[in-house]
Amino acid sequence: MASLIQSGWQYLITHFSDFQLACLGSFFLHEGVFFLSGLPFIWLERAGWMSKYKIQAKNNTPAAQEKCIVRLLLYHFGVNLPVMIFSYPVFTYMGMRSSLPLPSWKVVLIQIIFYFILEDFIFYWGHRILHTKWLYKHVHSVHHEYATPFGLTSEYAHPAEILFLGFATIFGPAITGPHLITLWLWMVLRVLETVEAHCGYHFPWSLSNFLPLYGGADFHDYHHRLLYTKSGNYSSTFTYMDRIFGTDIGYRKLKALKSIGVEDSGEQKKQ
């Protein structure tokens, strides 16, 4: 397996420049992973399949789903791609490389764990700030247009928010200058996590059922259902920041009520 990856990587660095791989390669890898993982949830919602696992009974209209896709393409080409291009000198200055040899799996694992921890910390405070009255009204409310999220809504946001919270994702790699393959792996994992958190379904095989402190769709869906003054659940991937600062109290109370068979009708009325 290692030799296969190395051979594939040798092909890439032989046929493409560092700039092409780091900017265009990263962009198209992101687009592929994002849309291939997010589009199936639109299909599931329209077909009504696996509805027993859907967290909210409400469905989005086809028009709302199509609006999301069009805006995403505009934001990705108009914001994400330019950021990748203009941040390239920073990453290379900090030591990012694409040449062989590839980093060891231990180095990759340590860096990915560090990125998750750092991203969780920065995202939590940035997200919480976006829920202050003025910033919510003028910036973050765009993301909350979808009270019933589906996978692709994970990156549907105001351009200012894309830059603001995107900083949490790129800060770790920017200060460590990883190998490009590590950066790509981090990007893929982060995209899959945020799509899953917004998918609107809680499956028996969802990671939150097996991985302690992992947020997942049920945790984040609660955040989208409530008004900005009562939301909580600001965490990104793992929930320990909300637990430490007590911003998941409403969610935990709701889960406790559900565990004893009390439905959340009171919460639904607040929507």
In the chain, % of residues over pLDDT 90: 90
Query: Is residue 251 exposed (0-12), middle (13-18) or buried (19+ Cβ within 10 Å)?
Result: buried
User: pLDDT, tens digit, for every residue of 221-235?
Assistant: 999 988 766 789 999
- Count other C-beta atoms under 10 Å from residue 121's C-beta: 16
In the chain, % of residues over pLDDT 70: 94
Quote the CA–CA distance of 8 and 129 in Å, as a whole number: 43
User: pLDDT, tens digit, for every residue of 163-185?
Assistant: 999 999 999 999 999 999 999 99
Single-letter amino acid, residue 8: G
Predicted local distance difference test score (pLDDT) of residue 262: 52
* β partners of residue 238: 214
Quote the CA–CA distance of 163 and 214 in Å, as a whole number: 25
User: pLDDT, tens digit, for every residue of 141-159?
Assistant: 999 999 999 999 999 999 9
Token pair in block for residue 115: 């990125």
User: pLDDT, tens digit, for every residue of 227-266?
Assistant: 766 789 999 999 999 999 999 999 999 889 887 865 444 4
Q: How many residues does the chain have?
A: 271
User: pLDDT, tens digit, for every residue of 69-110?
Assistant: 999 999 999 999 999 999 999 999 999 999 999 999 999 999
Q: Are 157 and 165 within 8 A, CB to CB?
A: yes
Q: Output the average pLDDT for the chain.
A: 93
pTM score, whole prediction: 0.92
